[in-house]
């Protein structure tokens, strides 16, 4: 969730660290800080935004340093709790992502040994442990310190007068940016794109020493050569490009990223592009595991695989998966994670692998932890998604699920051809939704004055209702709930009334008539009803108070056009309420702790 950066080279570290931190603001944070090492160690940190820190921070001399953006987990947002954290001598500084489970025990132990703590954080124990074990080698001190730690971490340590950065990771991502006579470290690739597109992803348990001219990595006690990857994203991909917010830019990028993702797979004949596990005769079923927006894509995938492949599919929240005892090695598993670093998803992957399941990862990041754990990886081609609220990553996850289903299809070849043609047409259909943006703004103006909204759908559009509600609540701070339309009568009807609008997602599929009945029931309770319906659907127009129209597509593709319309609805509702759309409160883009 937090962001960490490091730099070592010939240039002034201060400006580079601050710029890298700006690139990580999308991860969410409540405080930030930097430490620059030269002959001495200078630290400046506060519970402010990066721009404010850059404005007031003194000129810190030195060509090596570390930086951090923090979401408070142990101790409130404050200057003293912000990272970097230093030891008693003031010579060693550490930044850390993750959670130290035994920090209270370590704190008591170190205090008894004479160490003095100033913060409420779990991270501060790491800097004191490094000081305790320091005997001339920062690397060995870090290794010894981490031997005492129970928990997850990605850390960078720096020491005054020592021209190196020491890095280590366990259950939290860390990447090294490689350049000429300078090297960079970050928790995520966008932080590095202004300076290099050459990266090395640290593996689980790695510890490394980074100087301006050299990168040394040890794994299981042995020195290894880190595999260098080339990032295909451009700096421009991680900038707003003239849009007011990243979220709006990313919504408008969807025709392109759908086209890019389909272009990767729709003509592919290689077996790597297919779900090989589906052809196994002893397969007992399919399990899809994901979190948040990716979980909603997974739920839609259940309907897609059921219809096109004809296999039983179970979808589970990754965060709840740890509490299931019965897992069969004969279950095929798909794990969906945009970043490839989501802590709950990675934990689920490891458990699946332990019992012998074949695991397919759907992710957006080449070289991510998920891609390295999986037996097979299918990449979405969304490019960097900066806004905390996921938009384009959801639609391209659907594209991959459609293609995986079609590649293993059990339906008639004419149906496969029809669906393949429908996939090819989706970029144009999504563009038609975007062209209707001004009309959607009008409905957003109404919703912005509400405090409670229901979203309902049936069948493959039930997950769309969940996603629509999630988008509205996370960026506009309006209480929103997504429901299977038939479930309203089992309790939520008690909340309906003139001040509780309902957004009904209506597709002309097998659930159509049932949705019409649900709409009539809602109208009888007096709730305003906004329908999302196909162009030319006169029946819905007669029943609903307002209708947002979307282009007609095969019903199996209706989640794509419907979701894009709901993304715009949420965006403009939040804009009317003057909310910080790209950085909603209390949320982070990449959730790297459980």
Is the CB of residue 565 less than 8 Å from the CB of residue 251?
no
Beta-carbon-side half-sphere exposure of residue 91 (alpha carbons within 13 Å): 12
Q: Which of 364, 577, 336, 323 is nearest to 463 (CA)?
A: 336
Three-state DSSP class for residue 523: helix
Residue carrying the six token digits 């419907």: 562
Q: Is 536 exposed, middle or buried (0-12, 13-18, 19+ CB in 10 A)?
A: exposed
Sequence-ordered list of residues with C-beta below 8 angstroms from that of 426, at least 6 positions apart, any chain: 258, 262, 399, 553, 557, 560, 561
Please name every residue paired with 159 in a beta bridge, in sequence order, or none if there are none.
92, 162
Strand 452-457 and strand 359-363: the pairing is unpaired
Instruction: Give the number of other CB atoms < 10 A from CB of residue 315.
Output: 21
Token pair in block for residue 226: 């880190």
Describe the chain by its helix, strand, coil percentages, rounded to 5.
40, 25, 35
For 477, the token pair is 């701070």
Catalytic residue among 170, 212, 392, 589: 589
Nearest CA to 583 out of 124, 55, 32 is that of 32
Annotated active-site residue in 2, 32, 291, 357: 2
Q: Do residues 455 and 480 make contact, with C-beta atoms less than 8 angstroms apart?
A: yes
Torsion of CA 398, 560, 469, 488, to 10 degrees: -100
CA gap 234, 335 in Å, rounded: 27
Angle at 17 between CA 11 and CA 18, to 5 degrees: 120
408 is catalytic: no
Listed in order, strand segments (DSSP E) in 47-194 are 64-70, 85-86, 92-97, 153-159, 162-170, 175-178, 183-186
Active site amino acids: 2, 589
């Amino acid at each position: 969730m937090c962001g960490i950066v490091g730099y070592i080279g010939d240039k002034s570290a201060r400006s580079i660290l601050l710029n890298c931190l700006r690139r990580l603001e999308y991860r969410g944070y409540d405080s930030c800080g930097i430490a620059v090492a030269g002959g001495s160690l200078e630290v400046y940190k506060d519970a402010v935004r990066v721009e404010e820190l850059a404005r007031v921070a003194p000129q810190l001399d030195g060509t090596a340093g570390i930086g951090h953006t923090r979401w408070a987990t142990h101790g409130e947002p404050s200057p003293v709790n912000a990272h970097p954290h230093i030891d008693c001598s003031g010579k060693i500084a550490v930044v850390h992502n993750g959670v130290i489970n035994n920090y209270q025990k370590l704190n008591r132990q170190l205090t008894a040994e004479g160490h003095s703590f100033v913060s409420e954080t779990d991270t501060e124990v790491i800097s004191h442990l490094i000081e305790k074990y320091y005997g001339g080698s920062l690397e060995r001190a870090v290794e010894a310190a981490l031997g005492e730690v129970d928990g997850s971490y990605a850390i960078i340590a720096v020491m005054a007068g020592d021209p190196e950065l020491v890095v280590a990771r366990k259950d939290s991502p860390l990447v090294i940016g490689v350049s000429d006579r300078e090297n960079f470290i970050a928790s995520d690739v966008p932080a590095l794109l202004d300076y290099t597109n050459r990266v090395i992803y640290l593996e689980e348990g790695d510890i490394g020493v980074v100087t301006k001219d050299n990168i040394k990595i040890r794994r299981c006690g042995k020195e290894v050569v880190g595999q260098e990857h080339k990032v295909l994203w451009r700096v421009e991909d991680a900038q707003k490009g003239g849009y007011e917010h990243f979220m709006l830019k990313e919504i408008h990028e969807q025709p392109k990223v759908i086209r890019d993702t389909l272009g990767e797979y729709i003509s592919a004949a290689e077996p790597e592009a297919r779900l090989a596990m589906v052809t196994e005769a002893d397969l007992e079923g399919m399990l899809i595991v994901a979190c948040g927006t990716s979980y909603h894509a997974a739920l839609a995938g259940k309907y897609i695989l059921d219809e096109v492949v004809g296999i039983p599919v179970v979808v589970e929240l990754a965060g709840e998966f740890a509490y299931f005892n019965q897992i069969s090695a004969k279950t095929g598993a798909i794990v969906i994670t945009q970043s490839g670093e989501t802590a709950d998803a990675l934990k689920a992957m490891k458990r699946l692998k332990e019992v012998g399941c074949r695991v397919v990862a759907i992710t957006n990041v080449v070289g991510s932890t998920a891609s390295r754990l999986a037996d097979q990886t299918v990449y979405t081609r969304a490019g960097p998604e900066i806004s905390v609220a996921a938009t384009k990553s959801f639609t391209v996850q659907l594209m991959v699920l459609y293609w995986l289903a079609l590649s293993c299809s059990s339906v008639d070849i004419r149906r496969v051809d029809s669906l393949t043609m429908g996939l090819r047409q989706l970029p144009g259909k999504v563009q038609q939704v975007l062209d209707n943006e001004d009309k959607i703004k009008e409905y957003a103006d109404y919703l912005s004055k509400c405090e409670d909204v229901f979203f309902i759908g049936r069948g493959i559009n039930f997950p769309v209702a969940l996603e629509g509600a999630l988008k509205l609540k996370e960026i506009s701070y309006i209480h929103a709930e997504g429901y299977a339309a038939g479930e309203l009568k089992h309790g939520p009807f008690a909340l309906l009334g003139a001040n509780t609008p309902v957004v009904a997602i209506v597709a002309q599929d097998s659930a159509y008539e049932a949705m019409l009945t649900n709409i009539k029931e809602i109208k009888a309770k007096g709730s305003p009803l906004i329908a999302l319906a196909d162009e030319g659907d006169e029946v819905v127009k007669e029943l609903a108070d307002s209708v947002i129209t979307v282009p007609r597509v095969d019903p199996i593709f209706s989640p794509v056009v419907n979701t894009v319309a709901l993304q715009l609805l949420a965006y403009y509702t939040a804009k009317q309420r003057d909310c910080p759309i790209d950085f909603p409160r209390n949320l982070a883009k990449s959730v790297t702790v459980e």
